[in-house]
Structure 1
Amino acid sequence: MTKAIQNFIWSGSILQKKLVQVLWRKCCRPNEEGSLGFRDLSLLNKALLKKFTWRVITVDSDLFSYLRAHFFKSNGDFRYQIKSFIWAGLHPLCQDHREKSC
């Protein structure tokens, strides 16, 4: 996704690449630092996954109770390996949350 955005910014098309004059990470700095203020999508994705993981583990709504009951053991580990890019991203965050929350 980041590559498509970069291509669009530099060339006006997501399919066409152009010679880049500025490093992308410099474009993602805050406006106060004289940059364009674009968001780093990898950091945004990680933040949203952490927020979702926190809600799965702590919120007692019907949806999150269902997810905990079907996909997690009572100790918080995944019950089984699920072939999904979403669960693959959540798994290490759940482990990280369990280790740091005690």
Structure 2
Amino acid sequence: MKIVGKYGKASGQCINFDKSSLLFGKKIAVNDRQQIKDTLGIQNEGGMGTYLGIPEDISGSKCKLFTFLKEKILHRVNGWTCRWLSNGGKEVLIKSILLALPTYVMSSFLLPMEICENLASAITQFWWSSTPPKRGIHWAKWEKICAPKEESGVGFRMIHEFNLALLAKQLWRLVQYPDSLVARVLKEKYYRLSSPLRIAAVDNPSYVWTSISAAKKLLLLGIRSKVHSGYEINVWQDPWIPSTPARPA
């Protein structure tokens, strides 16, 4: 509460405790929960709402948790009159709206393959159908449509691969900016004596950290270590030889 008070004085922002809520883990006893509520002056328990479009409670079945993404896309698609749109118009709507809707969520969480397939199915249905929600004839595979235009594709994003690319960007930021607040918090919890690219298995990690760690293989394909003094280089394992792709000695 002292920290909260200092924050309020420094920022000039007052916290409304009547509108605030606490989210407890499953292992917190009932008596402890009530004691924490009384100490903080917050009696509401949260976890069922959303913040910035993301569910507060990231637990349980991830497929059920991220179902709202497909519902958002279907809500947009069903509100558009496809019969008046050319293929070019559909392409613009898909790239600028449908594929952009889940981007914020995908930058922090790894979506299950089932959710990725459901999102791709909703987008392909909009692409091929002239009267949604009726299903049109699919004249080409989704992978073919997602190929670059130079390879006779349309250039749509592969949702799972794009998800991994966004998570790899987050992991790269932890490497590039180790003094940032989020990097220092994650370092103390998951890789205190190592680096985010060399960590082993972690006991009971959060879903955010599990998602970021899933992009490590992708990131390692495109980076190499700088030698400098050589003190931090593991000569026989780190990809420090500047070949294509980079490789260890």
Q: TM-score, normalised by structure 2?
A: 0.33
Pairwise CA distance, 1:28: 0.9
Q: Say yes or no: does 1:32 pair with 2:150.
A: yes
Q: Deviations over 1:34-77 (max 9, x none)?
A: 32111212221111111211222341212221222223342334
Identity rate, percent: 27
- 1:81–1:18 Cα change, 3 Å: farther
C-alpha separation between the residues in 2 aligned to 1:92 and 1:6?
27
Tell me the amino acid that sits aligned with residue 125 of structure 2: N
Given that 2:164 and 2:214 are in contact with CA atoms closer than 8 Å, whether structure 1 keeps it comes out as: no
Corresponding residue for residue 191 of structure 2: 72
Relative contact order, CA 8 A, sep 6+: which one is greater?
A: 1
User: Which of 186, 189, 205 lines up with 1:82 in the alignment?
Assistant: 205
Query: SS of the residue aligned with 2:215?
Result: helix
C-alpha separation between the residues in 2 aligned to 1:57 and 1:31?
34
C-alpha separation between the residues in 2 aligned to 1:73 and 1:3?
42
C-alpha separation between the residues in 1 aligned to 2:141 and 2:202?
42
Tell me the amino acid that sits aligned with residue 71 of structure 1: Y
Pairwise CA distance, 1:83: 4.6
Tell me the amino acid that sits aligned with residue 145 of structure 2: C
Given that 1:71 and 1:78 are in contact with CA atoms closer than 8 Å, whether structure 2 keeps it comes out as: no
Stretches of structure 2 lacking an aligned partner (at least 5 in a row): 1-118, 226-237, 239-249
Q: Which runs of 4+ in 1 moved over 4 A?
A: none
Q: Say yes or no: does 1:20 pair with 2:138.
A: yes
Stretches of structure 1 lacking an aligned partner (at least 5 in a row): none
Q: How many residues are treated as equivalent by the alignment? A: 97
Given that 2:146 and 2:155 are in contact with CA atoms closer than 8 Å, whether structure 1 keeps it comes out as: yes
C-alpha separation between the residues in 1 aligned to 2:214 and 2:162?
16
Which one has the largest radius of gyration? 2
Q: TM-score, normalised by structure 1?
A: 0.69
User: Which of 187, 207, 213 lines up with 1:91 in the alignment?
Assistant: 213
**Structure (1/2) with the larger helix percentage:** 1
